[in-house]
Structure 1
Amino acid sequence: MNSVEPPSSGSHIVWIGKNARGQWVAQHQNGLYGGLFVNRADAVRYALFENGHHSEAIIAVGCILELDMASHPTANAALGEAGSRAA
């Protein structure tokens, strides 16, 4: 019998929704990963892959969801380093 373990914390939560342009968005709650997708099925598949197949931690939002990869401190640091190397 297969059992699904709930996430140990909120670390696996991924939001799924549409942005203002009608594209599907999958976004980790802390901005660790995310992407834009043509359809909902692809967004859900990506979210499941990235969050360790915790389907109970995928949350569909009813409002506009814009992809924001710079909201996490680690992402901000990586963006800053990439910018300084390119200059």
Structure 2
Amino acid sequence: MGQSTQIQPHDGTSHLFLVGQSKHGFWVARDLEGQSEGIFREKKDAVRFAMFEGGHPNAVMLSPNAVEPTFGMGVS
């Protein structure tokens, strides 16, 4: 039998993340509240980040549309 691990968020709260591929081919994971974001080369890494930061397995919503990073855009 395999072991299960529970993913815990950094700050004790849960968040929802939008995960999608940018027009440049990178995978973006963005907290819908604008508190956290990551850019990744692989989809699995973006999903893993979102699940960890989100605090639960249902924290990830995959987008059928391009998701562009907000870094450096003055979005808070």
TM-score, length basis structure 1: 0.64
| Aligned Cα root-mean-square deviation (Å) | 1.9
Amino-acid identity (%):
33
| CA offset digits 1:31-87 (Å, max 9, x no partner) | 1011110101100111111111x1212100000101114433xxxxxxxxxxxxxxx
* Aligned counterpart, 1:24: 27
Whether contact under 8 Å (1:30, 1:71) holds in the other structure is: no
**Larger relative helix fraction:** 1
Count of residues paired in the alignment: 63
Greater length-normalized contact order (CA 8 Å, ≥ 6 residues apart): 2
Q: Which moved more, 1:63-72 or 1:14-23?
A: 63-72
5+ long unaligned stretches in structure 1: 5-10, 73-87
Structure 2 stretches of 5 or more lacking a match?
Answer: 7-13
Runs of 4+ in structure 1 off by over 6 angstroms are none
